[in-house]
Amino acid sequence: MDKYWIALSSIEELSSSFIQKLYNHFGDIEKAFKAGDLSEIDGLSVKKAEKFLRLRDKTDPDKALQLVKERGVKYLTFEDEQYPQMLRNIYDAPSVLYYKGDLFDCNLDKTLAVVGSRRATSYAKDALAKIISELNGTDICIVSGLASGIDTTAHVSALDNNLKTIGVIASGFDYTYPASNKELYKRIEDGNGAVVSEYYPTFEPLKFRFPQRNRIVSGLSYGTLVAEASLKSGALITANLTLEQGRELMCIPGLVTNPNTQGIYKLLKNGATLVTCADDVLEALGWEVKIEQKNLFELDLSENEQLIFDALEIEDKCFDELQAFTRLSVDDLLTYLTTMELKGIIKQVDGDRYRKI
């Protein structure tokens, strides 16, 4: 029966909701694919029915399935017992879920979606990385959209902290978008989670597919954490989908002067949970997980290095500000800064500013 699910999903003009409507009416996907009379399906216009029949007649189920297998893409159909239950419960669930990697090595009972701006500030990325690092040693799975910005930070932070992660893409597997995340795709697929898509392998990453895939990001997850979002953004769309799906919505607060936080504060005012640490996430979702306690790295700092470290306690500082605070000579300060960077204690950000790690 799989080939009929695949064949229907290979027709670009058909939406998942249309395929579900056919399946629900006939109760059998093969009968739905081979149907000749669609006149009794509620809400289906004659024009849409005729268009379906025309497209269906051009589609070979065996060839459609063969293409998927040739590309090494795995899949789950909607009627498969292993189809993720959280996703099955949403409105307009994907008729087919294509994936690479090991989806079932992920704990699908503890999934956290993370969304945010593609043009995220370093503050938002660092705050998110900190929260995810506090989940190190747990079986929580991070779900995001494999886009640039917050999505990339979420996936990389998960991988760096031995967490499984699921990337939901807005195209078929013939495409890697953005191209800069090619290595990230590979890291996830090679034993660290799964990359999934509702789109047949040949489908391009067209603009309208990105907001469509957002329902899958939130639909796979028990809650969504928003790291940064303007009032008109894909992240805000996902936040609203989270609420529609009856899932928990959480937000990381940001700088009030940043336009990308306007959406965050709107959500917080409307009742989203404020998150500043991993415990806030666990409490909001009612998860009891064992977090491995690691010994904090003891910093072996000289007196002047400690002075620099203390200067960065509250906020980033540029070279001149550090020199004014520490009263060190230019040469000495440069030497200490270089040494501390090599030790991984501080890092240079935004050109000439320094930040404590």
pLDDT tens track for 321-349: 999 999 999 999 989 888 888 877 888 88
Contact between 200 and 10 (Cβ < 8 Å): yes
Helix (H/G/I), strand (E/B), else coil: 339: helix
Q: What residue type is assigned to position 71 of the chain?
A: R
In which order are the strands placed within the sheet that holds 165-168? 74-77, 96-101, 193-197, 165-168, 141-144, 111-115, 223-226, 248-251, 273-274
From residue 214, alpha-carbon distances to 113, 123, 210, 265, 287 in Å are: 10, 24, 7, 21, 24
Mean pLDDT, residues 93-99 taken together: 97
349: phi then psi, degrees, rounded to nearest 5: -135, 155
Number of neighbours of residue 88 by Cβ within 10 angstroms? 14
**Position 64: which residue type?**
A
Q: Which CATH architecture has domain 303-356?
A: Orthogonal Bundle (1.10)
Run of H or E including 201: none
Lowest pLDDT segment from 31-40, 71-80, 247-256, 348-357: 348-357
- Nearest-angstrom CA–CA distance, 28 and 42: 17
Confidence at 6, pLDDT banded by 50, 70, 90: very high
Q: What is the mean pLDDT of residues 302-322?
A: 89
Q: Specify whether the CB–CB gap between 112 and 231 falls below 8 A.
A: no
CA dihedral (75, 78, 82, 83) positive or negative: positive
| Closest among 90, 91, 99, 146 to 118, alpha carbons compared | 146
For residue 331, what are the contacts with CB-CB under 8 A and spacing of at least 6? none
Examine the pLDDT at 109 and tell me if it is beyond 90: yes
What integer pLDDT is reported at residue 298 of this predicted model?
A: 57
Please report which confidence band the pLDDT of residue 13 belongs to, taking 50, 70 and 90 as the band edges: very high
pTM of the model: 0.84
For 72, the enclosing helix (H) or strand (E) is none
Residue 1 in this model has a pLDDT that exceeds 90: no
CA 342 to the chain's CA centroid: 31
The H-or-E segment that residue 219 falls in is helix 209-219
**Pairing between strand 353-356 and 317-318?**
antiparallel
Name, in order, each residue with C-beta under 8 angstroms of 254's C-beta and a sequence gap of 6 or more.
121, 123, 124, 127, 228, 260, 261, 264
Question: What's residue 290's pLDDT?
Answer: 67
- In the predicted structure, residue 212 carries a pLDDT above the cut 90: yes
- Position 293 pLDDT exceeds 70: no
pLDDT at 291: 60
State the residue for tokens 């087919």. 96
What's at 30, amino acid-wise? Answer: E
Closest-CA residue to 10 (of 98, 119, 104, 122): 98
- The phi and psi torsions of 56 (rounded to 5 degrees) equal -60, -40
Give yes or no for residue 45 having a pLDDT over 90.
Answer: no
The predicted structure's pLDDT at residue 112: 98
Average pLDDT for 172-201: 96
Mean pLDDT across 275-292: 88
- Which has more confidence, 260 or 217? 217
Q: What is the mean pLDDT of the chain?
A: 92
Q: What are phi and psi of 97, to 5 degrees?
A: -115, 110
What pLDDT sits at residue 294? 45
Question: How would you classify the pairing of strands 111-115 and 223-226?
Answer: parallel
Cα–Cα dist 246/255, whole Å: 28
User: Tell me: domain 103-285, CATH 3.40.50.450, correct?
Assistant: yes
Mean pLDDT of 39-57: 90
Beta strand pairing call for 273-274 and 111-115 = unpaired
Whether 65 shows a pLDDT value over 90: the answer reads yes
* Alpha helices (H) along 72-162: 85-88, 122-133, 150-160
* Average pLDDT for 193-199: 98
Q: List pLDDT tens digits, range 15-40.
A: 999 999 999 999 999 999 999 889 88
The domain spans of the chain are 1-70, 103-285, 303-356
What single letter denotes the amino acid at residue 10?
Answer: S
Q: For position 295, what pLDDT does the model report?
A: 42
